[in-house]
Structure 1
Amino acid sequence: MPIQERRERERAERHRLIVDAARELAEAEGWDAVTTRRLAERVEYSQPVLYSHFKNKDAIVRAVALQAIGDLAERMRAARTAHRSPAKALRALADAYLDFAATRPALYDAMFVREVDLSFGTAESPPELRAAFGELVAVVEPFAGDDDVETLTEVLWSALHGQATLNQGRRLRPDHHRARVEVLLSRFC
């Protein structure tokens, strides 16, 4: 194997290791605990090595967010495609989205709450973002009728995000979670 190819593979592995360590640390202790010093200790590389991969902490958060959005897209795809009925697919996708937000709050925070340099809804949007939004579009499309499907999708996504964020902040009555989801989805099907 050529030396250059081996170096590129090792660099990609270090990159993945840093992202995974940041993700694990954020999930265990929150984003305030994610510092380059702690990451360097955790991955057993010097801080200059971290900076050779990422400009700063924001760039690390961005990488974690992209990875997490890809994971969410896969979960939503699995939920959606597990059902032939459009209504059941919509419910399954909504449950998958809200479950991800509830069980992975640090990742959800990186994806949709923290200020991250990610371009949503543009031609420059990374593939992970387009895939996640595409899953939402696919589940909304059967219900769009004469409405613009992307606008209707943004309405669904906004409502799911609102519920996820308010649930996480304990601002809503926890014993009414299912009722809120059903009220929202009943507006679509």
Structure 2
Amino acid sequence: MKEREDSFGEKLRKARKRASLTQEEAASLLDVSKRTLGNWEDDKHKPRDRNLETVLSEIRSRSENHRDPIYRLTTHSEGGKCQISKRPIGHVKGKEALSRPEREVFWVFIGGDAMNQRYRKQSLVPVLKFQSETTDIQEDDVYLVRLENAVQLKRLQRLPNQRIRVISDSEAYPNTVLQIDQDVDFEILGRALV
């Protein structure tokens, strides 16, 4: 007895899931709406301008080409300022990459031990990049921040009146409250994703 071949929609759904993409992400990669992609996967419609192999190839190649840069924290001799390296030292690629359209992710090796209950020293941590000058956090979570001369991973808690509590896991580092509407050398670089 001949085994039934998958339909266009079933093949498309399987390819999307193999690429670890949501319907929204795959639709964005293919430059169609989520509803259109859903109709294709449900075999309600087929693409007018593309055949199955073209659509599957686009999903495969675009998902395989996702690359998240990996950066090192470096200390400059000028004033001992700790910054993220200018050039990536490598990339996280393919399915492990977390960047998607409208979502830029980079990875960084954590050097300190202030958050050692959650992140071990020299852990590679993915960070959802924020736009420059962002100081408004939407939720209490762990963020990569630049505070004075140091880039650090810290838990941030939003407080009333433009204040943020900066929290470490380790008791060796005291918690700090910043008044961010004053002239404070502080920048949120992104939110840790694990």
More contact order relative to length (CA 8 Å, sep ≥ 6)? 1
Which structure: greater strand fraction? 2
TM score, norm. by length of structure 1: 0.25
TM score, norm. by length of structure 2: 0.24
Question: Which structure would you say has the larger Rg?
Answer: 2
Which structure: greater helix fraction? 1
